[in-house]
Structure 1
C-alpha cells in the first residue's frame, strides 16, 4: 500500500495511470493536478515513512488505495446535504471524507453528525483540511474533487468506496487521554464556544474557572460517549470572554478535564505500541495538529502510522487530539 510524500510530477503520473488516490498538500500544488480518481485537502504537515514529522510546501502526501477499490463514487456536500452521507455510502466498503476547517459544513458535521440518518451503517473516515499555522486567518482551507477538477472551501468532498469481494474494513482510534478525577463539567447548549459552565451543577464563568484552577489547556475535556472516550480540545481561553473549542461540546454530556500527562510524547509512543496494529493492512491514517505540536513530532516517526497532520479527525464523527486509521483485511 503506497503511503508516501511525493513531488507533484510523480503524483501527476499516478493520476494519469488511473490510480485511486487520497491527497494532502498545499493549495497551489493540488490546483495544478490533472483530473482523475482522486480527492484531496490542504495541509503542509505530515508524518512520512522516512523523515517522520515534517513540514513541506512543495510536495504532496499520497495515499494510493487502488488495491482495495472495486469502484468509487465522489460527491460534494454542503451543510444542508451532508446529512445524506451515510445513506449514500452503501454497505460494501467505506466512505472517505475531507472537510475544510472553519467552514459551514465543518460546523454542521461537528454538531449534527451523530444524528445523521443511517449513522454508522458503513465506516466513515477522513480529516479536516487546514493551512500552515502562519497563514491562519489569511488563507482558507480547501478540499478538492479530482474527478471534476473543482476546489471547495464551504463544502465537503466524499469518496464512497466499494471494496472487492472477500475484504472487510475496520476503523481504529488512538487516544492517549482519559478522564481525570476532577470536577464534572456540563454545558447548557451545544457549540464550539461557551461563556458559562456548570461545575458539579453550579454555574460559573468557564474562563475564570480555568484560570483559577490553572487547568492545562493542552489537555482536552474528555467525555464518555457511550463507551468511547471523545476529546474536546481547547482553542483559546480569554479572561472575561468565551472559551473556544476545536470541536463542539454537547448539552447533557458530562465532561472532565483529562488526566495530567507527565510526558506527552512518551505516552503517545506507548499508546501506539499498545494498539499492536500491523502496518501491512493500514490503508490510511492521520494525526491531529495538536498531537504534532504538543508531542514534538517534527522529525519523529509514529510507526506504523504515516499521513497528513490535520485540523481534526473523522472516525464516524468529528474527533480531536486523536490518531485515526483505516484497515482493510481479507476475510
Structure 2
C-alpha cells in the first residue's frame, strides 16, 4: 500500500509542504498542528494498514492521491449547500467527503441526500469522523473535519475533495457487508430519524427500547433493510429507557430485520473480504470492535475505521473500497 501509510506528524507535514494531495485521519491534537495545504482531514485514531488494525494516538493515517488526480479542489459545505455540493463533483472522477458524527450536517446528509436526483451521477464516498472511544467525558476533543487549504477545524460542516481523473480512467466504489438479513421479526419505523421510540414489530406497535431489552439485544447486531437487492445496515449506538439511538437514520419506507447471528472473530470477517488492492478504503469502528480486529491484517488496502461510511448514502458496519479503473 505505497499510498496509504501511518506517518508521524513531521512526515505528514513534509508531504503537505511539498504540495501533495492528502486524505488524513488522526487524533485532533495532531491534526491541529498541520499546516495549510492540499489536504482533507478528519478526527479518528483507528486505522487499518500494513501494520494491522490498530489505535494510534501519536501518528496519522495518510492516503496520498497526488499520482491519482489530474486536478483537485477542496471545499466545505453547510447543510443548506447539498445541491451545490453535488453539482461541484467532477464529470470524470470522484468526490471524497468527511462529516463530523452526530453534527447537524451529518444528520441532514443522511436523511436528505437520497432525495437529490443527481446523487448517483458521479461517485461520492467518504466517512463520518469520531474520536477515541476510550477518551474521558472531560476530554475537550470532539468529532471534527478539516479544510486543509486553510487548516481550519470544523465541527458542523462537510468537507469534500473533488478529484478529476485522466480521461482514460474512471472511479469505482465497492462495498462489502459482513452481515446477512435474518427471517425473524419485521421492524417498521414510524419516522425517518437517528432514534426510535414506538415502532411496528410484526405490524404491532411496541416501544423499541422495551422490545430490545425483552429480547436481550445489546446492540452488536445491526438491523438490516433490503434496498432493491443491496443490504443496508443500521447500527445501534445505545439503548435508553424509552428510545433506541442509531449511527444512521432508519427509514419509515423500509422493512427491517435483525442481521443473522454471526460468530464474532477476525476469521469470520476476513473470510468474505476482498483481497485485491484499492486506492484507499475505510471500515466501520463497530466492525473493528465486534470482530476483534486489533492487530489483524485486513487486506491489501488501508484507511481509517469510521463512525459511519458513505458510498453515495450513509452506511453502517460496511467496508468501502475505492478503485481506479482504465476505460
Equivalents in 1 of 2:128, 2:203: separation in Å?
34
Show the counterpart of 2:172: 170
Deviation string 1:97-132 (CA, Å, 9 cap, x unpaired) is: 010111110100111121124111111011111110
Residue equivalent to 2:3 = 2
SS class of match (2:16): helix
CA contact (8 A) 1:84 1:117 kept: no
Q: Structure 2: how far apart are the matches of 1:202 and 1:312?
A: 30
1: CA distance, partners of 2:151 / 2:118 = 29
What is the rounded CA distance, in whole Å, between the counterparts of 2:265 and 2:235 in structure 1?
15
Corresponding residue for 1:160? 162
Q: 1:1-331 residue pairs with structure 2 within 5 A?
A: 1-50=2-51, 52-135=52-135, 138=139, 139-215=141-217, 217-238=219-240, 240-272=241-273, 275=274, 277-279=275-277, 282-331=278-327
Contact 1:22 1:38 in 2 (8 A): yes
Deviates more, 1:181-190 or 1:75-84: 75-84
Instruction: Give the superposition deviation at 1:87.
Output: 1.7
Question: How far has the Cα of 1:243 moved from its partner?
Answer: 0.7
Please state how far the C-alpha of 1:284 moved relative to its aligned partner: 1.0
CA contact (8 A) 1:83 1:117 kept: no
| TM, length-normalised to structure 2 | 0.95
Quote the offset at 1:82 in angstroms.
2.5
**Equivalents in 2 of 1:198, 1:84: separation in Å?**
37
TM (norm. structure 1) is: 0.94
Cα distance in 1, alignment partners of residues 158 and 136 from structure 2: 20
Cα distance in 2 between the residues matched to 1:82 and 1:155: 11
What is the alpha-carbon distance in structure 1 between the residues aligned to residue 170 and residue 237 of structure 2? 37
C-alpha displacement of 1:94: 0.1
Q: Is the 8 A contact 1:86 1:117 kept in 2?
A: no
Gaps (5+ residues) in structure 2?
none
d(CA) in 2 for partners of 1:264 and 1:214?
21
Distance of 1:157 and 1:207 partners within structure 2 = 34
CA distance in 1, matches of 2:101, 2:215: 30
> What's the RMSD between the two structures over aligned residues?
1.4
Q: Contact 2:208–2:242 at 8 Å: present in 1 too?
A: no
Cα distance in structure 2, aligned partners of 1:143 and 1:263: 31
Q: Aligned partners of 2:157, 2:263: CA distance in 1, in Å?
A: 39
8 Å Cα contact 1:87-1:117 kept in structure 2: no
**Cα distance in 2 for residues equivalent to 1:250 and 1:115:** 13
- Structure 1 residue 264: Cα displacement: 4.2
5+ long unaligned stretches in structure 1: none
Per mean C-alpha deviation after superposition, the further-off stretch among 93-102 and 302-311 is 302-311
Aligned partners of 1:122, 1:221: CA distance in 2, in Å? 28
Q: For the Cα contact (< 8 Å) 1:233–1:320, is it kept in 2?
A: yes
Q: Tell me by how many angstroms 1:147 deviates.
A: 1.0
Q: How many equivalent pairs are there?
A: 324
Whether the 8 Å CA contact 1:286–1:306 is kept in 2: the answer is: yes
Query: Is 1:286–1:308's contact at 8 Å kept on the other side of the alignment?
Result: yes
1:191-240 Cα offsets, whole Å, 9 max, x none, are 011111101211111112122223352010000112211000111113x4
SS at match of 1:68: coil
